[in-house]
Structure 1
Amino acid sequence: MNVPAFLRRQRGSAVVEMAIVAPVAFLLLIGVIEYSILFYTTLAMQYAVREGARYAITGRTDKDPATSNQQRYLAVIQAIKSNSMGMYDSVNPVISVNGTSYASSSAYSATMFGNAGDIVVLRLDCTWKLATPIVAAFFPNGEYKFTVAATMQNEAF
């Protein structure tokens, strides 16, 4: 069978076009996925800090993993961790309560959440390390930094 000349010249053109378009399409797809993960992480951490603040205002300590000498601040951190959908350790949060930053667990104090009737402002400063170089180019040091917070009043306890 004799193939017309114009068809012979177009053989393989689809492969060449796909080779040109595919990297751009995949980069866009991966970028959309990474932005989706950023928004999910932000929402998950906002939910976690809200639930942590709700737990903090009760004055309870039962969520502290220690069986004896349970601490309120460890119980609140555990409440945040358990409600963060597994994102807590990924975002390396710095906890602030009423404007005082607690960068390490050694800085936590028994009175950091105040007494009955006090206003508690619980804030987490989070950092998410981006994986996609194209998306990371739009953020300083390839990190997405965000803050989530909740404000509530302590109950009578």
Structure 2
Amino acid sequence: MPPFTASKTNILRRFGRNRRGSAVVEFALVAPIFLAVLFAIIELALVFFASQILETVTQDTARLVMTGQAQDIKYTKEQFKDIVCAKLTVMFDCANGVSIDVRSYPSFAGVNIDAPIDAAKVFIDDTKYCPGKDGDVVVVRLFYPWPVFVPGLGFNLTNLANGKRLLTATAAFQNEPFPTPGVTCS
């Protein structure tokens, strides 16, 4: 008798009833979608967390300007950046990435802020440091180009041409009354 006696229809019937390995096939179909959603959630959480850290540091350092401490000590732009960088220790490469923009205006009506990204999706680094005198309206902005790790899959957080997202934190306030030393703008 030949070693193989089962008919072709019998083999197909047995193959159709066999459920071993179906979990592996189902997982292979669902896993890419599951992993894509998981990575998108993690990426979004990291961006929100980094944005919140940047906002907190902006509020903390802006307080130095608002109370006149930065003007009293006569911080330069580099010294003010050093203070910011001392607070951004965990998730940021401060020395190579953070840009600080401090501008003063005579009133809130005079505030004019341009978009930091041009039409070609390039960051315009036109930052200045002018903390103003007492009573001036000041806008402190911090910028950081955040690397985006999962740019595809229809969920794209990038807003810069180099595949990064420009995180921006802003504080706008009126300086408190303080004795005004010589204010230098750079």
Q: What TM-score do you get using the length of structure 1 for normalisation?
A: 0.70
Instruction: Name the counterpart of 2:102.
Output: 97
Bigger CA drift: 37-46 or 113-122?
113-122
Q: Pick the structure with greater CA Rg.
A: 2
Instruction: Name the counterpart of 1:152.
Output: 173
Secondary structure at the residue paired with 2:152? Answer: helix
- CA distance in 2: counterparts of 1:51 and 1:39, whole angstroms: 18
**Closer, same or farther in 2 for the Cα pair 1:54/1:88, shift >3 Å?**
farther
Identity of aligned residues (%): 28
**Structure 2 portions without partners, runs of 5+:** 1-13, 104-112, 117-123, 180-186
Secondary structure at the residue paired with 2:69? Answer: coil
- CA distance in 1: counterparts of 2:64 and 2:26, whole angstroms: 57
Q: Deviations over 1:71-99 (max 9, x none)?
A: 35444323322333534426923322225
Q: What TM-score do you get using the length of structure 2 for normalisation?
A: 0.61
2:50 to 27, 32, 41: 41
Instruction: Name the counterpart of 2:140.
Output: 122
CA RMSD of aligned residues (A): 3.4
**Structure 1 portions without partners, runs of 5+:** 65-69
**Closer, same or farther in 2 for the Cα pair 1:143/1:18, shift >3 Å?**
same
- CA distance in 2: counterparts of 1:136 and 1:154, whole angstroms: 44
- CA distance in 1: counterparts of 2:21 and 2:35, whole angstroms: 21
